[in-house]
Amino acid sequence: MPKRRLAVLVSGRGSNLQAIMNACASGQIPATDVVAVISNRPQAPALALARAAGIPSPCVDHRRFADRSSFDAALRAQIDDFAPDHIALAGFMRQLTPAFAQHYAGRMVNIHPSLLPAFPGLHTHAQALDEGVKLHGATVHFVTADLDAGPIIVQGVVPVLAQDDVDSLAARVLALEHRIYPQALAWLVSGRLRIEQGKVTIDGETASGISPCIWPGTEDL
């Protein structure tokens, strides 16, 4: 297959970015180069990871724009300069406008630290603990105009333990994210994903039939 071009949007430390870069280097995400890492925060540690890997890493600082639409227009122009085939949001902490989401429809994915549709938005681990749920996890989904509501590609699950606090639960979910995000991107760049009637299929089958819940330390079911 021809080389695919992946742009990654980041706001924070970049642990999912590192997992993606590692997966590209190892071939787990096949025939794919990370061609740009773009942040809305000039001091995001993820930018340093990208620069150390020799990846172009510009910043579009959201504080310099009067509103979301003008920021999104500038961000879109920056992304399109790199002509990516796909865009991965990896801890990118900005809600995007409908026009931006539509421009990249079917090509842009996000990872969210909860079992969507439960706990969209922020503070997901605290919400899970407050609600007393027994299972928590992470979701990779296509990005749409609705926050954390796009078609789900894959989910991974961890148990919520009696002794858990926000930090311990977050750490287990993050380790899970590092497994399921590269897998979802591998399916995406290989052209194996389709959105049919609002649901994701992999090789023509529903995603839940191909990759049910993934537990850390076990083989994929």
* Catalytic residue numbers, as ranges: 112
| Residue entry with tokens 């961000």 | 75
Q: Where are the beta strands (DSSP E) in the chain?
A: 4-10, 32-39, 86-89, 108-112, 135-142, 152-159, 193-196, 199-202, 205-206
Question: For 59, which DSSP code?
Answer: B
Q: Cα–Cα distances in Å, from 37 out to 7, 51, 141, 143, 181? A: 6, 9, 20, 18, 16
Residues 6+ apart with CB under 8 A from 157: 115, 135, 136, 137, 176, 213, 214, 215
Helix locations, 6-111, DSSP H: 15-26, 45-52, 68-81, 98-103
Label the pairing between strands 108-112 and 86-89.
parallel
- By the 8 A CB rule, do 57 and 36 touch? yes
Q: Which residues pair with 39 in a beta bridge?
A: 10, 59
Our CA angle for 91, 163, 161, nearest 5°, is 65
Spatial neighbors of 131 by CB under 8 A, at least 6 apart, are none
